[in-house]
């Protein structure tokens, strides 16, 4: 964090003297602890915090632990807020949250990933825990609200959330209320009853009032606790209590202003000044108050105010930190603005200086901004930049920078580049180019003049010296996002030239960008060399989790090259690096997912599944940003192999929603993987619809970035020809495949070459050119066997099995073909082979065969299938040719002999059965 966490935010406020027990509300809160959410919602001054503190003093005795967090304005930064939430829970339950905190240190981790890890830990608790969020209304960020909604939706039964707020939060309250998961405590519940008013004034405040006076106070304040407390303070020492009580009236705000003024007038001038001038502080300590007020005795004054019950809330057990009751603080600040407006900025400036000297940069920056001392604020932000980036507080950083005048940013190049980083961390490119240019102009002017310009302001000298390299890296990253590979390479090489030899981190980032650029262009050997250098630099720099990301990229590149053994080595080395510490480094889960993908291709489905289960057991906090979608892609392939293709599509839908690019090229889009599953289901029309939406065609100019998609298009075209027998379709497929294979061969992309040859073999087979089909198949097998590729063939299903059998009967390479056929026979019985058929029946031909087994005539079959009679005749002719028969009855008998009847019967029909002979 940019400064330590504030321990006082985790402290349950101590009860004050004179506290009135409220058993009716404590009982309701205890009942609410059986629900997911208890909402205590009321305006300021209704005793929400006091009520919760009283109730929580009894909770541990009931077998529950308590986690408390006092929210403040800064917590609208999602990373900071969730860090506080997890830390609060760890104070109550030390065994939870380690993974979530690790995820929070990554700039790319999503809130959902952080919360999933936390929820998994919480689900294992043996007893209940109550998480209280006080002053929740101070949270404004939509991202935080969305995260809270996710947390509530998945909250384990033993975890109970309590929210105290002045306004109802943007959470699904109606849904929670409808299913009985919401308990509410509102204004009507919190108001003091007349009996409670009497008890509070008499026993809590030591006042002797008549029943008429009590009734008047209850009526005028409507049980509003803050107003009653102010009134009680004003009444102390007065002889004419009844006259005073009759003297105020009006709305809530008027009452508070009036009574607060009464309280202030009864204080000494020294105490009144102390109260007003320290009202600018969100937290109070003796030393801080002395620095702001210029008066000695800060701690003694705070202790005296605490004894006097003067709206002071203790924030720790040592009586070192306090805060004012929010309502009272509002009144004090309003009085300060009225009475000493010229002093306001000076008070904030003093507070900023105190926090700076006490190593709290975030508080120092905020007070500088409140003082409108923008020069000071800018300098503090510049010094805080490195820590804020490491702590993933980009939202706070950006809020600070946007609070500074634009003209001030223009003369501070380090801050300008800091702003660029905060933008690009959220994937935003608008304004990035202009700010990079502006920073570079300052550097150019300084170089030309031989010294920095007098108009340029630099506080962080190390940051200034790193600017040329930082600018080059950001330019390279921007170019990569925009798809400008040449510019990416230019800027990354410049960053490398600027980095000193032993600055491993400064060398690792541009080397990785160069690797990604070459990968995007399909130059895999060069990409691998650069990324290996980048990974080695990251290891030397001690950025081991980033190095694991490098291992994953190296494995992906090796798989694209068809080098399964090299992929395995990269992943196993990464796993060894991850396992050097306990718990394993972030990225360990990714290594298991990568190994699962290799084992899947080698047809070791059991081993592939084991690695996925290990990855899941490690938890999402042990994974890099891409792991959530990669895990689902890997599991989808296993589900499809098991025959559950609908489940596979569901997993791919989830993966697409969770996709994170992380600057890596999307060379195997999830949508293309889903299209391949649809093609294997015979739903090639859906796949072709996707290619049209993507703007893909068989005439496109080829690029590696779209190679996988074009191979998918070729498969869909083959599927279409199989059903419709349109020669233009198969011509498009074979022409596209020829160009794709040539490009993959030139680029040494053996993985793509094997994939394309398999499709080319099927295209020749369905066209009736069996020699060409077998020739393509043998070439693919020769490339595949040394590295153990299997599933690239098996996933093609019955058509590939039939082609393998034909190859076994007609040519050499029998052992190789037999080994692959054994993989088909052992595929869990889920791949039904149309044995004996060189050219299997298509999905539409099976539909026609189903209806040939009925008494429907040709025109009726055409109407049933909503096609022309000529199309039915074409399909019938193809069926006769494939089954080697010449009439309808023979076709039905042959289908039964080949065990195709289950396929025929399973598709359902309205006919009345096969005509009798």
pLDDT in tens, 87-100: 999 999 998 998 88
**Domain holding 81: CATH number?**
3.40.50.300
Asked whether residue 59 is assigned to any structural domain, the reply reads yes
- The three-state secondary structure class of 819 is helix
Beta carbons of 419 and 435 less than 8 angstroms apart: yes
Strand 312-314 with 182-185, pairing: unpaired
Domain boundary among 174, 190, 206: 190
Residues 176, 58 share a domain? yes
Residue 258: band (very low, low, confident or very high) from pLDDT cuts 50, 70, 90? low
Domain boundary among 160, 190, 220: 190
Report H helices in 223-373: 225-235, 241-246, 252-265, 269-278, 286-293, 298-307, 326-339, 344-357, 361-370
**Domain holding 873: CATH number?**
1.10.10.10
Please state, in angstroms and rounded to a whole number, the distance separating the CA atoms of residues 752 and 216.
86
* CB within 8 Å of 362: residues ≥ 6 apart: 2, 3, 74, 384, 396
Of 343, 344, 301, the C-alpha closest to 324 is 301
Query: For 562-582, what is the mean pLDDT?
Result: 90
Please state, in angstroms and rounded to a whole number, the distance separating the CA atoms of residues 414 and 648.
48
Extract the tokens encoding 246.
């009759």
* Structural domain harbouring 209: 194-265
Q: What is the DSSP letter of 76?
A: G
Extract the tokens encoding 499.
């980095």
* CB within 8 Å of 111: residues ≥ 6 apart: 78, 82, 143, 146, 147, 150
Total length of the chain: 917
Query: Has residue 914 got a pLDDT over 60?
Result: no
Residue 61: band (very low, low, confident or very high) from pLDDT cuts 50, 70, 90? low
Report H helices in 450-523: 461-465, 467-481, 485-498, 504-520
Query: For 331-340, what is the mean pLDDT?
Result: 88
Query: Has residue 903 got a pLDDT over 50?
Result: no
Give the pLDDT confidence score for residue 867 in this predicted structure: 65
Question: Which range among 535-539, 600-604, 708-712, 874-878 shows the weakest confidence by mean pLDDT?
Answer: 874-878
- Report phi then psi at 13, rounded to 5: -55, 140
Asked whether residue 519 is assigned to any structural domain, the reply reads no
Q: What is the CA angle 161-162-164, rounded to 5?
A: 145
Please state, in angstroms and rounded to a whole number, the distance separating the CA atoms of residues 795 and 784.
14
Residues 809, 781 share a domain? yes
* CB within 8 Å of 833: residues ≥ 6 apart: 798, 801, 802, 824
Question: Which range among 89-93, 693-697, 820-824 shows the weakest confidence by mean pLDDT?
Answer: 820-824
Tens digit of pLDDT for each residue in 147-198? 999 999 889 988 999 999 988 888 888 888 888 889 999 887 888 888 888 8
* CB within 8 Å of 858: residues ≥ 6 apart: 869, 872, 873, 876
Q: What is the CA angle 742-748-752, rounded to 5?
A: 65
> Contacts from 900-905 at CB under 8 Å and sequence distance 24+?
900/834, 900/841, 900/846, 900/849, 902/832, 903/832, 903/846, 904/846, 904/849, 904/850, 904/853, 905/850
> 359 exposed, middle or buried (CB, 10 Å; 0-12, 13-18, 19+)?
exposed
Asked whether residue 38 is assigned to any structural domain, the reply reads yes
Query: For 791-819, what is the mean pLDDT?
Result: 87
Query: Has residue 240 got a pLDDT over 80?
Result: no
Asked whether residue 356 is assigned to any structural domain, the reply reads no
Give the pLDDT confidence score for residue 911 in this predicted structure: 38
Helices 374-390 and 361-370: crossing angle in degrees, nearest 10, is: 150
Please state, in angstroms and rounded to a whole number, the distance separating the CA atoms of residues 858 and 480.
58
Query: For 885-900, what is the mean pLDDT?
Result: 78
Residues 257, 186 share a domain? no
Please state, in angstroms and rounded to a whole number, the distance separating the CA atoms of residues 354 and 347.
11
- Distances in whole angstroms, Cα of residue 267 to Cα of each of 247, 270, 326, 552, 820: 20, 8, 19, 68, 93
- Distances in whole angstroms, Cα of residue 623 to Cα of each of 584, 618, 626: 10, 8, 8
Of 183, 175, 156, the C-alpha closest to 33 is 183
Q: To which H or E segment does residue 179 belong? A: none
Give the pLDDT confidence score for residue 15 in this predicted structure: 65
Beta carbons of 659 and 633 less than 8 angstroms apart: no
Of 380, 357, 356, the C-alpha closest to 369 is 380
**CB neighbours (10 Å) of residue 818?**
11
Asked whether residue 687 is assigned to any structural domain, the reply reads yes
Beta carbons of 192 and 218 less than 8 angstroms apart: yes
Please state, in angstroms and rounded to a whole number, the distance separating the CA atoms of residues 123 and 559.
37
Residues 169, 22 share a domain? yes
Question: Which range among 171-175, 376-380, 663-667, 902-906 shows the weakest confidence by mean pLDDT?
Answer: 902-906
Residue 586: band (very low, low, confident or very high) from pLDDT cuts 50, 70, 90? confident
- The three-state secondary structure class of 310 is coil
**CB neighbours (10 Å) of residue 210?**
11
* CB within 8 Å of 88: residues ≥ 6 apart: 9, 10, 67, 68, 69, 131
Residues 211, 183 share a domain? no
Residue 717: band (very low, low, confident or very high) from pLDDT cuts 50, 70, 90? very high
Residues 170, 119 share a domain? yes
* Percent of the chain topping pLDDT 90: 41
Question: What is the pTM assigned to this prediction?
Answer: 0.66
- The three-state secondary structure class of 315 is coil
Residues 90, 205 share a domain? no
- For the CA atoms of 203, 208, 213, 218, what is the dihedral angle to 10 degrees? -10
Residues 112, 49 share a domain? yes
Extract the tokens encoding 424.
């690009």
Please state, in angstroms and rounded to a whole number, the distance separating the CA atoms of residues 442 and 444.
5
Query: For 686-700, what is the mean pLDDT?
Result: 93
Query: For 846-858, what is the mean pLDDT?
Result: 84
Question: Which range among 28-37, 171-180, 232-241, 664-673 shows the weakest confidence by mean pLDDT?
Answer: 232-241
Please state, in angstroms and rounded to a whole number, the distance separating the CA atoms of residues 530 and 538.
12
Residues 761, 861 share a domain? no
Asked whether residue 472 is assigned to any structural domain, the reply reads no
Extract the tokens encoding 720.
């279409």
Q: What is the CA angle 385-386-388, rounded to 5?
A: 65
- Buried (b) or exposed (e) across 132-149, using 16+ Cβ within 10 A? bbbbbbbbeeebbbebbe
Beta carbons of 33 and 160 less than 8 angstroms apart: yes
Q: Total domain count for the chain?
A: 4
Query: For 869-896, what is the mean pLDDT?
Result: 81
Beta carbons of 192 and 225 less than 8 angstroms apart: yes
- Buried (b) or exposed (e) across 342-355, using 16+ Cβ within 10 A? eebbbbbbbbbbbb
Residues 32, 159 share a domain? yes
Residues 814, 725 share a domain? yes
- Average per-residue pLDDT in the chain? 85
Please state, in angstroms and rounded to a whole number, the distance separating the CA atoms of residues 528 and 510.
14
Asked whether residue 47 is assigned to any structural domain, the reply reads yes
Give the pLDDT confidence score for residue 545 in this predicted structure: 78
Give the pLDDT confidence score for residue 899 in this predicted structure: 64
Give the pLDDT confidence score for residue 904 in this predicted structure: 45
- Buried (b) or exposed (e) across 542-563, using 16+ Cβ within 10 A? ebbbbbbbbbbbbbbbbbbbbb
Query: Has residue 748 got a pLDDT over 70?
Result: yes
Give the pLDDT confidence score for residue 18 in this predicted structure: 56
> Cα 366 vs. chain centroid, distance in angstroms?
28
**CB neighbours (10 Å) of residue 97?**
25
Give the pLDDT confidence score for residue 907 in this predicted structure: 40
Residues 66, 34 share a domain? yes
Query: Has residue 405 got a pLDDT over 80?
Result: yes
Tens digit of pLDDT for each residue in 99-143? 888 888 765 667 888 898 899 889 888 888 999 999 998 887 888
Domain boundary among 190, 224, 257: 190
Please state, in angstroms and rounded to a whole number, the distance separating the CA atoms of residues 205 and 438.
64
Q: To which H or E segment does residue 284 belong? A: none
Query: Has residue 506 got a pLDDT over 90?
Result: no
Residue 916: band (very low, low, confident or very high) from pLDDT cuts 50, 70, 90? very low
Of 199, 185, 187, 245, the C-alpha closest to 219 is 245
Give the pLDDT confidence score for residue 247 in this predicted structure: 65
Question: What is the DSSP code string of 202-241?
Answer: IIIT-----HHHHHHHHHHHTT-HHHHHHHHHHHTT-S-H
């Amino acid at each position: 964090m940019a400064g330590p966490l504030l321990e006082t935010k985790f402290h349950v406020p101590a009860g004050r003297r004179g506290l009135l027990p409220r058993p009716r509300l404590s009982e309701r809160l205890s009942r609410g602890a059986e629900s997911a959410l208890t909402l205590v919602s009321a305006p300021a001054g209704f005793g929400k915090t006091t009520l919760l503190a009283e109730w929580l003093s009894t909770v541990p005795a009931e077998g529950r632990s308590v986690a408390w967090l006092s929210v403040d304005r800064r917590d609208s930064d999602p990373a900071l807020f969730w860090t506080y939430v997890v830390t609060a829970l760890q104070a109550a339950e030390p065994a939870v949250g380690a993974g979530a905190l690790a995820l929070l240190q990554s700039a790319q981790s999503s809130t959902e990933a952080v919360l999933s890890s936390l929820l998994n830990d919480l689900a294992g608790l043996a007893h209940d825990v109550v998480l209280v969020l006080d002053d929740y209304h101070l949270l404004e960020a939509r991202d935080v609200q969305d995260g809270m909604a996710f947390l509530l939706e998945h909250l384990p039964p033993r975890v109970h959330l309590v929210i105290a707020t002045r306004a109802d939060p943007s959470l699904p309250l109606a849904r929670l209320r409808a299913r009985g998961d919401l308990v509410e405590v509102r204004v009507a519940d919190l108001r003091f009853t007349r009996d409670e008013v009497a008890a509070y004034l008499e026993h809590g405040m030591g006042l002797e009032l008549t029943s008429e006076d009590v009734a008047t106070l209850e009526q005028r304040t409507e049980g509003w606790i803050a107003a009653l407390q102010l009134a009680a303070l004003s009444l102390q020492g007065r002889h004419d209590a009844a006259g005073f009580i009759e003297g105020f009236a009006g709305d809530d705000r008027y009452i508070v202003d009036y009574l607060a003024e009464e309280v202030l007038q009864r204080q000494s001038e020294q105490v009144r000044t102390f109260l007003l001038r320290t009202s600018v502080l969100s937290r109070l300590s003796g030393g801080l108050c002395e620095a702001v007020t210029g008066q000695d005795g800060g701690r003694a004054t705070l202790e005296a105010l605490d004894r006097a019950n003067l709206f002071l809330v203790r924030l720790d057990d040592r009586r070192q930190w306090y805060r004012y009751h929010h309502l009272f603080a509002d009144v004090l600040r309003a009085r300060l603005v009225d009475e000493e407006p010229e002093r306001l900025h000076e008070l904030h400036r003093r507070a900023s200086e105190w926090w700076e000297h006490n190593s709290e940069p975030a508080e120092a920056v905020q007070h500088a901004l409140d003082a409108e001392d923008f020069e000071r604020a800018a300098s503090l932000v510049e010094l805080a930049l490195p820590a804020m980036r490491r702590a993933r507080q980009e939202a706070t950083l950006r809020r600070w920078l946007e609070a500074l005048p634009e003209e001030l940013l223009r003369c501070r190049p380090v801050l300008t580049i800091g702003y660029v980083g905060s933008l690009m961390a959220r994937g935003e490119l608008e304004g990035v180019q202009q700010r990079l240019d502006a920073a570079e102009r300052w550097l150019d002017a300084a170089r030309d003049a031989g010294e920095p310009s007098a108009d340029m302001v630099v506080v962080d000298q190390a940051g200034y010296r790193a600017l040329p390299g930082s600018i080059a890296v950001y330019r390279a990253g921007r170019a990569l996002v925009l798809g400008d590979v040449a510019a990416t390479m230019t800027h990354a090489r410049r960053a490398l030239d600027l980095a000193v030899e032993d600055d491993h981190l400064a060398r690792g980032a541009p080397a990785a960008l160069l690797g990604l650029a070459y990968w995007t262009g399909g130059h895999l050997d060069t990409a691998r060399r650069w990324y290996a250098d980048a990974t080695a630099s990251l290891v030397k720099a001690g950025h081991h989790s980033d190095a694991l990301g490098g291992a994953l990229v190296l494995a992906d590149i090796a798989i694209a090259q068809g080098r399964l053994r090299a992929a395995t080595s990269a992943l196993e080395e990464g796993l060894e690096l991850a396992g050097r510490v306990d718990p394993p480094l972030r990225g360990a889960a990714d290594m298991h997912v990568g190994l699962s993908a290799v084992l899947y291709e080698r047809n070791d489905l059991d081993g592939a599944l084991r690695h996925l289960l290990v990855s899941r057991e490690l938890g999402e906090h042990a994974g890099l940003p891409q792991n959530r979608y990669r895990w689902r892609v890997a599991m989808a392939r296993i589900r499809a192999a098991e025959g559950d293709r609908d489940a596979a599509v569901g997993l791919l839908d989830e993966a697409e929603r969770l996709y994170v690019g992380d600057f890596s090229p999307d060379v195997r889009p999830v949508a293309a993987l889903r299209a391949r599953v649809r093609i294997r289901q015979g739903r090639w029309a859906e796949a072709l619809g996707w290619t049209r939406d993507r703007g893909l065609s068989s005439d496109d100019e080829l690029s590696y970035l779209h190679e996988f998609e074009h191979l998918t298009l070729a498969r869909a075209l083959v599927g279409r020809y199989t059903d419709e027998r349109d020669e233009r379709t198969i011509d498009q497929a074979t022409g596209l495949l020829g160009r794709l294979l040539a490009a993959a061969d030139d680029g040494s992309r053996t993985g793509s070459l094997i994939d394309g040859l398999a499709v080319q073999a099927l295209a020749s087979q369905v066209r009736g050119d069996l020699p060409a089909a077998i020739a393509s198949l043998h070439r693919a097998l020769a490339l595949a066997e040394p590295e153990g590729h299997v599933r690239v063939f098996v996933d093609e299903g019955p058509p590939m099995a039939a082609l393998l059998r034909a190859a076994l009967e007609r040519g050499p390479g029998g052992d190789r073909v037999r080994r692959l056929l054994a993989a088909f026979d052992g595929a869990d019985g889920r791949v039904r082979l149309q044995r004996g058929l060189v050219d299997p029946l298509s999905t539409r031909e099976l539909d026609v065969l189903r209806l040939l087994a009925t008494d429907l005539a040709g025109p009726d079959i055409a109407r049933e299938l909503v096609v022309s009679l000529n199309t039915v005749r074409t399909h019938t002719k193809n069926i006769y040719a494939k089954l080697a028969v010449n009439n309808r009855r023979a076709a039905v008998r042959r289908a039964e002999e080949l065990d195709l009847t289950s396929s025929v019967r399973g598709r359902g029909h309205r006919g009345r059965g096969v005509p009798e002979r």
